Structure 1
Amino acid sequence: MTSASALPSPGFPPTRRDTAVEHLHGHAVADPYRWLEDGNGPECEAWLEHQARLYTSRAATWPHRSAWQALLRSATARTDALSAVSPPVWRRGRRFFLRHPPGRPLPVLMTAEPGGPARTLLDPLAGDPSGSTTLDAWRPSPSGELVAYQMSYQGDERPRLGVVDVSTGHVVDGPLDPGRQTPVAWLADDTAFLYVHTPRGGTGRQLRLHRVGTAPGRDPVLFTTDLPQLSVTTSPDGRHLMLSASPGATSGNRLWLARAPHHPEQDLRPALVFDGTGDASRAVLKFAPDGRVYAVTDHGAPFGRLCAVDPADPHLRAWTTVVAEEPGSVLSACVTLTEPGTGRLRLLTAHSRHGVSGLRLHTGDGDLLAEVAAPGNGHVARLTAPPEGASSAWFTYTDFTTPPCVHRFDLATRRCVPDTPPECDTRGTPSAARSAGRAEVRTGVREHPRVAQVGYPSFDRTPVRMHLITPPGRTGPLPTLLTAYGGFGASTPPAYSPAITAWVAAGGAYAIASVRGGGEGGTAWHAAGSGADKPNAIADFLAAARWLIDQGHTDSDRLAIRGSSHSGFLVAAALTRAPELFAAAVCSDAVTDMLRYDRFGIGHLWRQEFGTAEDPDECAALLGYSPYHRVRPGTDYPAVLLTCPRTDPRVDSMHVRKMTAALQHATASDRPVVLRCEDGVGHGPRSLDRSLDLQTDVLAFCAAHTGLAPPPQQHRR
C-alpha cells in the first residue's frame, strides 16, 4: 500500500512536517506539527485558510444538507416545552427563570411578581444582536430586588459581572472583571456579595467582597487559596458561608465553614470541616431554613450518602449519616422542604440508577417517607426549592423523546406535575422571534422511536450499559451514530437531543454507551476509567462498536462515531486504535495531545483525570493511548470531520489542529479528513443558529458516509 507521506489524499493542503524528535523519560517522541500550537502565527493562519477552502469544497458534496437542517429545526421547535429551560429561583415570592422562546438565538432571563406576568429582565441580544454575547450565570439577591449577572463575548469565558435593579431593569453596578466565571454569594441585606477573582496568569483564587456601587479595585480580599477551584455559598439566613476548594476538576475538595462578614475589614477565620483531597472524596453542605445543616458526600460511600452536620461541631468526624449509601443508586441532589400546617422539615433527594433518575421523600432525620414517581424513565436535574422554606420543589425533566421541561413536586400530594409558568408579557418582542421556528417537517415517522437499555461485555468482561434509540418498524443493519462521554465522573443520562431526534427520524439508529470514567456507577466507575485506567474507557467504547456490529444493529460501513470535549477525545482515541470499525468519525473540541495537554487552556486541572507526562510512568501510559501520537502513516482511516472554535480557552484548539494535520498526512484511504474551524464561539454555549449550523454539518457528514438519506420534506405553517 502506498503511504500517505508519498501520496497525500487529493485536496489536502500542503502542510509543513517537522522531523525533530524529543526524548521523554527514555521515549523518542515525534511532534511534527508543534508549530500549529501557535494559533496566531503566520504559518498557522495560512494553514487555516487552506483548511477552510478544503472544508468548503468537501461540504458542498454532502447531500441533503437543507433537509438535515429542516429536521433539526423541527426537532428543536417541536414543542413549547423547550421555551422554559430552567426551574424557577424564588426570592420572597418573586420568580426568576430562563426562557428560550422559539426562534430566538439565545435564552433570556425572566422575572415575575407574585400573581403577575413574566417580563424580560436580561436579554443578551439587547446589547449585541449578533448573538455573540451569552448570559453565563445569574444570582438574585436575598430580597429579589437585585440580580448579579455575568455575560461573556464570543466564547472568551472571561465574563463581565454586573448588577441589575429588578424593578427598573437598569444596570446599577459593574462591570467587574472576575477573570473567569465566578459563584456569587449575596449578604443577607443586599448591600454586598462575595465572588471569586482569578488573577491573570495566576493559579490561585481570591475570595473578594464587593459593596454594590463601589469601585471594584477597592474590593477587599477575605480569603486566598493556591488551589485552582474555589466556590462560595451562603446559608438562607445569611449567617454562614461555605467555602469549597479543590486542586482539579475531578479531585477531592476541602470545605470551610465561616461566619458571614459584616464589614469589609472583618476576618473570616474559616474552619476547615472536611478535606477529601487525600482520597479524592467530595462533599457539599446544604443549609436548611430552620438552621439545620446537611452534607452530601461520597466519603466512604462511592454512591453517596447524606449526613447531618452539627453547626456547633461541623467537622467530618462528627457527621452522622441520615440517608445511607445504596449501592447501584447514585445520590445526586437534595433539597429541604417545609410541611404545610406542621412546619416539619422534609428532605427530597434525587438518585440515579444506570442513569435513570428517581426521587425520594424523607423526614428531617432521614427516615424514608415515600418513593416519588418521576415523570418518566429519564433524567431529573437542577432540583431546587425556595431558600426560606416551602412545600414545593422544582426540577427539569427530560428523556430521549421528551424535550426538557420544568416539573413541580408538591409536598401535600407527594406528586410531580408539569409546572405552569406565568404568562409572558411579549410586548417589545420582535415579530420574527415570535414567529420563527414554527415550521414543522413531516418526516413520515409518526411513532415515538424505540428506546432500549442494553448491556454488553467489555474486553475484560466488565458489563457496560448502553442506550439504543431506533426508528419504529426498522431492523438492522442501520446507519448508526455511536457516542459516549466516559470522563470526569460525568454521566450521560437519557436526555432529549434534536440531533438524536433528527437522525432517528431519518431512519438511523443512535447509541450512547455509559463507559467507565463516567459517573453512572458512582465514584468507583469513574476511577475505573481515569488516570492509569483511562484505557478502560476507550476499550469500553470500542467494545460498544463491536457489539453493535456483532448483534446486527449496524456494520462497519454504516457506523459513525461522534463526540465533543472528553467525548471527542474518546472518538479520536477509538479511530486511531481501530479505524477499520468505522465509516466516519466526528471529533469536536477534543484533547488529543496527551503529552502536552496540561500546558494549554485549563489542562492543568485535568492531571488527576489523565496523568502527566512529567511523571515517567504516567508518560508511558499517556503515550499508549494519546490519539495524536498513535496516528500511523499508511492507515486506511475513516472519513473524519474535526471541529473547533478558532480560540478555545478551555480545550486549546491546538489539539484539533495538530490532529487534523496528522490524519491528513497519514491516511491512505480516499475518504476525507476535514477541519471546520469557527470564529466567534468558545467551548461553551453558542447561539441557536450557530448550534444548528454545526449539528447540520455533523449529521450531513455522517449521513453522507453511512448511506443515510433523510425522508422527503413536507413543510407546513
Structure 2
Amino acid sequence: MLPSGATAISAFLIAAFCILACSSPSVAQHTSASPKARIAPVEDDYFGTRVADPYRWMEAPGNAELQGWLKGQARYTNEVLGRIPARGELKARIHELNQSSSDVYAIVQADKRYFYFRADPGRSVPRIMVRDGIAAPERLIFDPETLPQESGHAEAGWFLPSRDGRYLAVGVYFGGAEEAGHLRVIDVDHASLLDDDLPRIWGGDEGSAGWLPDNRTFAYMQFPPLAPGQPQKERIFRSRALLHTLGRNLKGEGDIPVFGFGVDPAIDIPKEYMNYISVPPDSDYAIAVNWTVDVDLAGVFVAPLAQLATGRVHWIRVARADDQIQANANLAVHGRDLYVVSRKDAPRFRVLRVDLAAPDLHRAEIAIAQGGTVIENIAAAAEGLYILDLDGGPSRLRRLRWGESLAREIPLPFVGAIRAVSTHPGSSGALLRMRSRTHSNVVLRVDPDAGGSADTGWQAPANVDFTGIDEREVTVVGHDGTRIPLSVLVRKDVQLDGNHPTLIDSYGAYGIFGTAKPYFDPLLLAWLERGGVFAVAHPRGGGEFGEDWHRGGMQQTKLNTVFDTIACAQYLVDHRYTSAGKLALQGASAGGLVVGGAIAWRPDLFAAAIDHAGLSDALRAETELTGPVNIPEFGTTHTVEGFHALYAMSPYQHLRDGVAYPAVLLETGVNDPRVEAWQMAKMTARLQAASTSGRPVLLRVDFDTGHFAGTTEQTEQLLADEWSFLLWQFGDPKFQPVP
C-alpha cells in the first residue's frame, strides 16, 4: 500500500502491474542451483496490517546458520563469476586505469603544516601525508598497512592534528568494522606511533577529536563496554566524550568524561546519540554536538575552553533538533562569533551568527541570507568566511570578508564540484579539492587578495584521456510532472541506436549528504570505451535543490525516489541510448531502496541490477546497529504513519512469487555496521525464491570489508565482477560463462 500523503500513482505506474502479470519469463541463462535458504515465516501485526517475513531467522545475532549460508553463497558466486572468460581481461584494464592517478583529500591545516590522505596507485589503502608549507615537499607519516592485520586489513578513517601540528590523532579500524575502531596518535616529526591506543571509537570517516591548547590533551568519543544483558546492537549506544592526555591512561581507562550520555544530569541525552567535542583553532570555546544520521544536529552546546581543561564543564545549549542546524556543514568560528548553517524558514539554507559569550540562537543575526543556490558548507579563514554553494550539482564559491555585508563570488577554473573547502582561522585563503565527471581531481589554492585560484601541484592530472567522452545534462519529466536531472556520460562518437550497454546509478537520500555531485572516476573508461553509457539520476531525496528536494523523497514521500529513478531509466530507453535488454541499475546503502523498489515496480525495464550493501527490509531497519539514528530519515514502525511509509518503501515486502525479475548481483561485507549483512541475505533469499525469469540472483560476500572501502585489490575485483556480471546479462559474447 502507499503511505498517507504520498504522491498519487500515475496511470503509467499502475500499468506496470499489468506488465508484471503479462510478461513472460526471460530465457534461462543460468540453471545450476545456489544454496537455498530455510523458510521459517514470522508474522507481525502492525496496527492491524499483518506482514509475513519468511527469513527472520537470519537476523539473530551470532547466527551460525547464516554464516554457513553466506559462505555457501560466496563460494557459489565466486565459482559462477570465475567462469566468465573476459573477466580477467576486464580486471586488467581496470587495474591499468587505476594506475593513472592519485587522490589527495581531507586536507587539514595546523600551524604551518598541511595534512591529508593520499590514495596512490599500487597502494592497498590511503596513507597520511604532511607538508610543512604549501610549496614544501610531502612526507609520509602514517601507513595503515604497517599495523598488525589480525582482524582484517587496516584503514584510517579520519585524523586531526594538534594546534601546533606536532601530533596527529587518527581513527583506525580493521576489516571494515568502523564501530570497533581505535584512536592512535602519531608523532609527526618522527612519523611514529605513540603507545596511546584508545579502543571502541568510531574509526570511520565521521569520527573526530578536539585538541586543547596544551597540544597534549584532546577530547574524543568512545563507546562504553556492553554491560551484562545489553544486546550487541547497543554497542554504539551511550557514547561519551572523554579527555585524554598523551602518555597517561594509555588504553583510556581513567579518562574523564566531559560530555555525553549520563555525564551531566541536567542534560538529557538519549542513548542513541553520538556525542562529539570540537575545539576550533584559535578559539577560546569548545563546541559539543549530539549527532545522528539526520540532516539536522540533535543538539549544539558551547562552553569556555578553560572549563574543558579542568574536566568540570558547564555546557550551554545553543540549539536543539527543531532549530534545524545542518549536520553536514561546519560550525565555523571567528573570534567570539559562531557561524552555523540553518534550514529553518530557509529550505535552501542561510548562515546565522551567534555570540559565543552569550549564545542565544533566537538573537542570532543573519550573516548570509537564503538565495537562489543551496548553501552547502562554510569555512572560516583569517580574511573572511567562505561559502560553498550547490547549484543543482555543480559548485559555486563565495567569500564574505569580515566586517562586510556582501559575499562576493570567487571565479572557478571549470564547471565542476568542490568536494571540500579547507581553511584555517589563522591563515588567509583556502584550499579547494575540485573535479568534474571529465576533469580529474585538482587541489586549488584561493588567492586571498586577487580572489582567483591556482593549482597547488599537489596532485598530478590523471594520465587518461576523457576528451572523447561527452557529458550530457538532461531533464526528465517524472510521474507527477516534476523535472528530474539526469547526468549522462557517453562516447562522443556513439550513435543512439538503442543498443548500448547502459548502467544508471541512483541514491536519493539524506539531503545534502546524499547529493550526487559530479566526480571523476578514471575507471569508467573501461565501461565507456566499450560503447557503454553511464548515467547518474538525481531523484528527490537528495539535496540538489535544497531541503524541499530532500523532503520530496523521504518517509511518506520516499516512493518518489524510486519513481524518479524509473523515469530516468525510461528516458534512456525512449531516447535510444539503450533498450531494456541492455539496461542495468545500481545503488548502494540507502540506494538499496531504489534498486529493490525499481525492480519490484518495473522488472521489465531492466536486464540486471547491482545492489551494494542495500537497505532492503525497511520494516526491520531500526533493529540494526545504526537503525535508531536513521529513524529521522526513514521513519519508525512505532507510529501508524511511520509503518505505512516504511512498508510502502520496503522492497523486500513487495517481491512477489512468480514474477520474472531481472538478474541481480547483491553485495555485502560481513563487518558492515551500517547495513548489516542480513539485509542483503534476506533480499537474496527472497529474490531467489520468487523470480521465474531464469536469470541469476547472486550474493557476493566479502569477509574482510564493511560498508564501503576495502583495499585497492578488493575494489578492482569488485568492479570487474560487477561489470562482467552485467555484460554477461547483456549478451556480450566475451562474457558468457563457460561450462
TM-score when scaled to structure 2?
A: 0.87
Matches within 5 A, 1:519-598: 519-598=543-622
Residue from 2, 11, 16 that aligns with 2:38: 16
CA separation of 1:140/1:455 partners in 2, compared to 1, >3 Å: closer, same or farther?
same
Q: Tell me the alpha carbon deviations over residues 644-690 of structure 1, each in whole angstroms, 9 at most, x when there is no partner.
A: 01231111110100110111111101110111011111113211111
CA separation of 1:33/1:671 partners in 2, compared to 1, >3 Å: closer, same or farther?
same
**How far has the Cα of 1:173 moved from its partner?**
4.0
CA separation of 1:446/1:63 partners in 2, compared to 1, >3 Å: closer, same or farther?
farther
Residue from 422, 430, 441 that aligns with 1:393: 430
The ranges of structure 1 where at least 4 consecutive aligned residues each deviate by more than 6 angstroms after the TM superposition are: 1-4
- Partner in structure 2 of residue 144 of structure 1: 165
Matches within 5 A, 1:105-124: 105-114=124-133, 116-124=136-144
Residue from 626, 647, 658 that aligns with 1:602: 626
Are 2:215 and 1:190 equivalent residues in the alignment? yes
Q: Tell me the alpha carbon deviations over residues 318-374 of structure 1, each in whole angstroms, 9 at most, x when there is no partner.
A: 2111221113x1111222333xxxxxx322221111110011232224534642222
Could you tell me which amino acid in structure 2 is paired with residue 151 of structure 1? V
**How far has the Cα of 1:474 moved from its partner?**
0.4
Could you tell me which amino acid in structure 2 is paired with residue 218 of structure 1? G
- Partner in structure 1 of residue 282 of structure 2: 237
Q: Residue 456 of structure 1 aligns to a residue in which SS?
A: strand
Could you tell me which amino acid in structure 1 is paired with residue 84 of structure 2? W
- Partner in structure 2 of residue 467 of structure 1: 487
**How far has the Cα of 1:544 moved from its partner?**
1.0
Are 2:341 and 1:303 equivalent residues in the alignment? no
- Partner in structure 2 of residue 435 of structure 1: none
**How far has the Cα of 1:45 moved from its partner?**
3.1
CA separation of 1:42/1:193 partners in 2, compared to 1, >3 Å: closer, same or farther?
closer
Q: Residue 576 of structure 2 aligns to a residue in which SS?
A: coil
CA separation of 1:541/1:104 partners in 2, compared to 1, >3 Å: closer, same or farther?
same
CA separation of 1:38/1:62 partners in 2, compared to 1, >3 Å: closer, same or farther?
farther
- Partner in structure 1 of residue 320 of structure 2: 275
Q: Tell me the alpha carbon deviations over residues 544-582 of structure 1, each in whole angstroms, 9 at most, x when there is no partner.
A: 111221222211101000111112331111111211110
Query: Are the aligned partners of 1:138 and 1:150 in contact in 2 as well (CA < 8 Å)?
Result: yes
- Partner in structure 2 of residue 93 of structure 1: 112
Matches within 5 A, 1:411-490: 411-421=448-458, 447-476=467-496, 477=498, 478-489=500-511, 490=514
CA separation of 1:520/1:708 partners in 2, compared to 1, >3 Å: closer, same or farther?
farther
Q: Residue 595 of structure 1 aligns to a residue in which SS?
A: helix
Q: Which deviates more, 309-318 or 129-138?
A: 129-138
Query: Are the aligned partners of 1:137 and 1:150 in contact in 2 as well (CA < 8 Å)?
Result: yes
Q: Tell me the alpha carbon deviations over residues 463-520 of structure 1, each in whole angstroms, 9 at most, x when there is no partner.
A: 1111011111102222110111100112001101244332112211111111011011
CA separation of 1:87/1:676 partners in 2, compared to 1, >3 Å: closer, same or farther?
closer
Residue from 394, 409, 414 that aligns with 1:376: 414
**How far has the Cα of 1:252 moved from its partner?**
4.5
Could you tell me which amino acid in structure 2 is paired with residue 141 of structure 1? S
Are 2:258 and 1:222 equivalent residues in the alignment? yes
Partner Cα separation in structure 1 for residue 280 and residue 259 of structure 2: 18
Partner Cα separation in structure 2 for residue 593 and residue 670 of structure 1: 24
Query: Are the aligned partners of 2:42 and 2:56 in contact in 1 as well (CA < 8 Å)?
Result: no
Q: Residue 322 of structure 2 aligns to a residue in which SS?
A: coil
- Partner in structure 2 of residue 430 of structure 1: none
- Partner in structure 2 of residue 176 of structure 1: 198
**How far has the Cα of 1:278 moved from its partner?**
6.4
**How far has the Cα of 1:3 moved from its partner?**
10
Query: Are the aligned partners of 1:71 and 1:502 in contact in 2 as well (CA < 8 Å)?
Result: yes
Partner Cα separation in structure 2 for residue 625 and residue 286 of structure 1: 34
Partner Cα separation in structure 2 for residue 191 and residue 125 of structure 1: 26
Residue from 270, 275, 295 that aligns with 1:250: 295
Partner Cα separation in structure 2 for residue 220 and residue 396 of structure 1: 37
CA separation of 1:283/1:25 partners in 2, compared to 1, >3 Å: closer, same or farther?
same
Partner Cα separation in structure 2 for residue 154 and residue 208 of structure 1: 26
CA separation of 1:383/1:57 partners in 2, compared to 1, >3 Å: closer, same or farther?
same
Matches within 5 A, 1:122-141: 122-128=142-148, 132-141=153-162
**How far has the Cα of 1:417 moved from its partner?**
1.4
- Partner in structure 2 of residue 213 of structure 1: 247
CA separation of 1:399/1:279 partners in 2, compared to 1, >3 Å: closer, same or farther?
closer
Partner Cα separation in structure 1 for residue 324 and residue 391 of structure 2: 24
**How far has the Cα of 1:414 moved from its partner?**
1.4
Could you tell me which amino acid in structure 1 is paired with residue 381 of structure 2? L
Partner Cα separation in structure 1 for residue 693 and residue 328 of structure 2: 50
Are 2:121 and 1:102 equivalent residues in the alignment? yes
CA separation of 1:483/1:518 partners in 2, compared to 1, >3 Å: closer, same or farther?
same
The number of residue pairs the alignment matches comes to 679
Partner Cα separation in structure 2 for residue 52 and residue 288 of structure 1: 50
Q: Tell me the alpha carbon deviations over residues 345-404 of structure 1, each in whole angstroms, 9 at most, x when there is no partner.
A: 3222211111100112322245346422223221102201123222x2102111112232
Partner Cα separation in structure 2 for residue 362 and residue 3 of structure 1: 61
Q: Residue 618 of structure 2 aligns to a residue in which SS?
A: coil
Query: Are the aligned partners of 2:25 and 2:693 in contact in 1 as well (CA < 8 Å)?
Result: no
CA separation of 1:566/1:104 partners in 2, compared to 1, >3 Å: closer, same or farther?
same
Query: Are the aligned partners of 1:322 and 1:366 in contact in 2 as well (CA < 8 Å)?
Result: no
Q: Residue 570 of structure 2 aligns to a residue in which SS?
A: helix
Query: Are the aligned partners of 2:260 and 2:275 in contact in 1 as well (CA < 8 Å)?
Result: no
Q: Residue 568 of structure 1 aligns to a residue in which SS?
A: helix
Q: Tell me the alpha carbon deviations over residues 181-234 of structure 1, each in whole angstroms, 9 at most, x when there is no partner.
A: 442000011121011122243633312111221112111111224341323221
Q: Residue 374 of structure 1 aligns to a residue in which SS?
A: coil
CA separation of 1:678/1:542 partners in 2, compared to 1, >3 Å: closer, same or farther?
same
- Partner in structure 2 of residue 615 of structure 1: 639
Could you tell me which amino acid in structure 2 is paired with residue 100 of structure 1? A
Q: Which deviates more, 626-635 or 295-304?
A: 295-304
Q: Residue 150 of structure 1 aligns to a residue in which SS?
A: strand
Query: Are the aligned partners of 2:41 and 2:54 in contact in 1 as well (CA < 8 Å)?
Result: yes
Partner Cα separation in structure 1 for residue 259 and residue 362 of structure 2: 25
Listed as ranges, the gaps of 5+ residues in structure 1 are 339-344, 424-437, 712-717
Query: Are the aligned partners of 2:283 and 2:335 in contact in 1 as well (CA < 8 Å)?
Result: no
CA separation of 1:366/1:333 partners in 2, compared to 1, >3 Å: closer, same or farther?
farther
- Partner in structure 1 of residue 684 of structure 2: 660
Query: Are the aligned partners of 1:197 and 1:207 in contact in 2 as well (CA < 8 Å)?
Result: yes
Query: Are the aligned partners of 1:106 and 1:125 in contact in 2 as well (CA < 8 Å)?
Result: yes
Partner Cα separation in structure 1 for residue 490 and residue 581 of structure 2: 18
- Partner in structure 2 of residue 48 of structure 1: 70
Partner Cα separation in structure 1 for residue 37 and residue 281 of structure 2: 59
Q: Tell me the alpha carbon deviations over residues 67-95 of structure 1, each in whole angstroms, 9 at most, x when there is no partner.
A: 3213322332223xx2x412642222122
CA separation of 1:497/1:93 partners in 2, compared to 1, >3 Å: closer, same or farther?
same
Could you tell me which amino acid in structure 1 is paired with residue 547 of structure 2? T
**How far has the Cα of 1:120 moved from its partner?**
1.1
